[in-house]
């Protein structure tokens, strides 16, 4: 990453133009770009042989590659990253795109989760990619926690927040639970819970469990850890990760192996395995972040790109994120401002509600 600006600075005008035109051609249609194509509308009169030499130099630098035996070139992941960081022109979303996103908010009386669901659908429709919306979790301090056994394979955790909000969440308890182990787990949590939000309690519990494994009854420990997994988003309600438009991405990639990898990606997402990491990705950056291919451990499986932006509440605290997944040849110049605009809109919506 650090050497990207240096490579760009060292390129002469001709190399820059060849590189830019190859990337823009690839992003526009997904096809390799050949030297003859470039010579037709190049800014200076040069031969195809000269262009080929420049393309070979760019390939040697690791910025372009030859996908098959064709003479055409496509950008490598490093080349795409350099283009995105140093050459892409990002403006504002078009009025049409803004209107489509704005229309999802609708009445202020609407349910927030319903609005976020519609935002995800609109974002998918506008970008023709797959959209992700990580919904906000309740971040008021917890006042009390209680576990209630419903059957041998069903239990309820009751969360009472300091602002009066109460959440009941179903989960599957570890085998062999007894009323005493559930009471012990609840007592253990309530001793730690004072003034902490769910996120803060998660960190405290993880630390305490590692420090006191020998002191905690093994079944109670399993119950606590089961609850931890639930709070990270694997419970049945409330849904924290909204995925819309997966068919856009599957239909956009023609090769069978790519389709299968993308199916696996969405199976993972819809099982909500990666919610915590997804929020960490958004939380680590200010504004829109772009992850291309294997730069992103979550989505490198499919060779896709992720454009993601956190949204904040009135206290400027990151509480969720919106993003778009698409093929690496996304129209980044258009997608980035749309994601940024959507994140700001959702942040304002949440802040006004609170």
Burial 123-151 (b: 16+ CB within 10 A, else e): bbbbbbbbbbbbbbbeeeebbebbbeeee
pLDDT of residue 270: 61
Residuewise pLDDT in 10s, the chain (354 residues):
444 556 777 788 899 999 999 999 998 888 889 888 888 888 788 888 899 999 999 999 999 998 776 668 999 999 999 999 888 888 899 999 999 999 887 655 556 777 888 899 999 999 988 888 888 766 678 888 988 888 878 888 888 888 777 877 777 788 888 878 888 888 888 888 888 887 788 778 877 777 776 666 676 777 766 665 544 444 434 447 778 887 777 666 555 666 776 777 777 666 555 555 666 666 665 678 888 877 766 665 567 888 989 888 887 777 788 999 888 888 899 999 999 999 999 988 888 776
pLDDT of residue 285: 57
Nearest CA among 311, 325, 334 for reference residue 96:
334
pLDDT of residue 304: 81
Q: What is the DSSP string of 178-195?
A: -HHHHHHHHHHHHHH-TT
pLDDT of residue 330: 87
Q: Are 61 and 22 in contact (CB under 8 A)?
A: no
Reply yes or no: is the peptide bond before residue 69 cis, omega within 30 of 0: no
Measured between alpha carbons, how far is residue 272 from residues 101, 117, 231, 265, 278 in Å? 25, 16, 11, 11, 10
Euclidean distance between CA atoms 120 and 135, whole angstroms: 10
pLDDT of residue 76: 92
Count helices and strands (H / E) in the chain.
14, 10
pLDDT of residue 299: 60
Euclidean distance between CA atoms 80 and 74, whole angstroms: 9
Sign of CA pseudo-dihedral 224, 225, 229, 231: positive
pLDDT of residue 238: 46
pLDDT of residue 292: 87
Euclidean distance between CA atoms 91 and 73, whole angstroms: 28
Q: How many residues does the chain have?
A: 354
pLDDT of residue 237: 40
pLDDT of residue 211: 76
Euclidean distance between CA atoms 304 and 264, whole angstroms: 12
The three-state secondary structure class of 304 is strand
The three-state secondary structure class of 133 is strand
Measured between alpha carbons, how far is residue 17 from residues 14, 51, 83, 85, 103 in Å? 5, 10, 11, 16, 40
């Amino acid at each position: 990453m650090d050497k990207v600006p240096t490579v760009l600075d060292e390129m002469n005008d001709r190399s820059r133009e060849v590189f830019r035109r190859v990337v823009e051609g690839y992003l526009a249609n997904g096809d390799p770009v050949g030297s003859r194509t470039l010579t037709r509308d190049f800014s200076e009169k040069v031969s195809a042989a000269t262009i080929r030499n420049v393309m070979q130099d760019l390939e040697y630098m690791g910025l372009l590659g030859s996908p098959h035996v064709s003479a055409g070139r496509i950008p490598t992941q490093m080349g795409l990253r350099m283009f995105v960081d140093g050459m892409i022109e990002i403006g504002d979303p078009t009025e049409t795109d803004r209107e489509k996103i704005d229309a999802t908010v609708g009445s202020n009386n609407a349910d927030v989760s319903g609005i976020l669901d519609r935002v995800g659908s609109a974002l998918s429709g506008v970008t023709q990619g797959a959209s992700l919306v990580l919904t906000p979790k309740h971040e008021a301090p917890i006042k009390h926690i209680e576990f209630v056994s419903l059957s041998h394979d069903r239990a309820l955790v009751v969360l009472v927040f300091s602002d009066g909000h109460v959440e009941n969440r179903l989960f599957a308890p570890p085998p062999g639970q007894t009323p005493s182990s559930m009471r012990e787990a609840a007592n253990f949590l309530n001793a730690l819970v004072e003034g902490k939000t769910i996120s803060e309690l998660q960190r405290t519990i993880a630390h305490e469990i590692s420090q006191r494994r020998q002191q905690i009854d093994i079944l109670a420990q399993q119950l606590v850890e089961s609850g931890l997994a639930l709070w990270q988003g694997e419970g049945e309600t409330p849904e924290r990760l909204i995925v819309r438009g997966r068919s856009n991405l599957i239909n956009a990639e023609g090769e069978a192996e790519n389709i299968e990898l993308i199916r696996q990606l969405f199976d993972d997402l819809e099982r909500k395995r990666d919610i915590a990491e997804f929020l960490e990705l958004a939380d680590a950056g200010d504004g829109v972040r772009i992850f291309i291919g294997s730069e992103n451990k979550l989505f490198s499986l499919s060779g896709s790109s992720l454009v993601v932006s956190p949204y904040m509440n009135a206290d400027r605290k990151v509480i969720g994120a919106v993003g778009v997944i698409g093929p690496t040849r996304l129209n980044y110049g258009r997608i980035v401002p749309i994601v940024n605009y959507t994140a700001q809109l959702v942040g304002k919506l949440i802040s006004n509600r609170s």
